[in-house]
Structure 1
Amino acid sequence: MHNPYRDRDAQALWQLVKLEADATAFAELHARFSAKLYALAYRKTGDSDVSEDLVQDLFVTLWVQKETLTIDKTINVYLFSALKNRILSHFRKQLLRNLVPLDDVYPEVLVSHSANVVQDWIQLREVQDVYLRELNNLPEKSREVFELSRSGLANKEIAEQLGLAEKTIEFHISKCLRVLRVKLLYMVGLVSALLLLH
């Protein structure tokens, strides 16, 4: 059976969703864009579960806020911009919770249409610079242990690899976290500090 919604452009579908709460139009938008959005998220995060969650959250928010949401751009531009914001937020939380440097994982955000995204990215780069500088200032053995722990090795594996006691590994990691957190608190503010110390 022919689906008349497939013949409508994305903007017309969005208007049906926004003005009439048309679930079929919403389903068509989802079918039309979800795979491309997932591909973008996966390309940036490298994590299928995270990518699925980001895309799902985007569409849930779109539906829940459909009546109050104001989209100045076309719906397709909005979806990809909103996803980029979510990807950036994911990296911010990852950095704050795990003290993982971002490297150059998402430089394309600098060409985003959102001024807030650019501002957030600059702030994140500043936090990363502080993180890397303070990491390099740590004693060599502590830094080595900490970097191995961030690479995914268990404390026991690090202890075996370096020929140290597991308690010594725990001490080095705790010491590094204390030092780095104190230095990063200044950069990320009170809200982020609460995340760091959670």
Structure 2
Amino acid sequence: MMGETPKDVHSLMLGDEKAFQVLFVDYYSVLVSFAMKYLDNQDVAEDIVQDVFVKIWETREKLGAVDNLSAYLYQMVRYKCFSHLRAEKVRQRVTKSFTEEFDETEINEYIKNETFRIVMNALEDLPPGSRNVFSRAIQGYSAKEIAEELGIAVETVKKQKQVARRLLKEKLGNLFTLFFTMA
């Protein structure tokens, strides 16, 4: 059908599947090669050519207005390639913009919130005495101030801090070092 005749196009317009199959077999591989001149992805080129053939089948009744079906097929493939490239460029620009924005703000916010949640859960899991002492210690109170406020011995404060540090190190690992080196 490479040198299609008006009869071939007419048969295609009437829904002759055999005429469509002949057209597909004659043009598919050359149109994929043509699409590859614009694209660097074989799968995308094949998808575009298949889309063109689907469109030809769906609009076959209108093919009578086409003077040269071969040129029309190449034109459709070229147009779809350009459309794909434009869409891909827009997608990459939007993805890059979104990723940069997401990286800088949302990921940092997520990490901060998630870290805070993990640390707070670890603090909540401490025994009550250790939790009271350690909470005050990370607020900057001295062992003497904590002992006076809670009505316990300074040695008890030190022991409770030691227990809290050990439990938090076990639970938080490296996060402990990041957050609690001063307590």
State TM-score, norm by structure 2: 0.49
State TM-score, norm by structure 1: 0.45
Higher-Rg structure is: 2
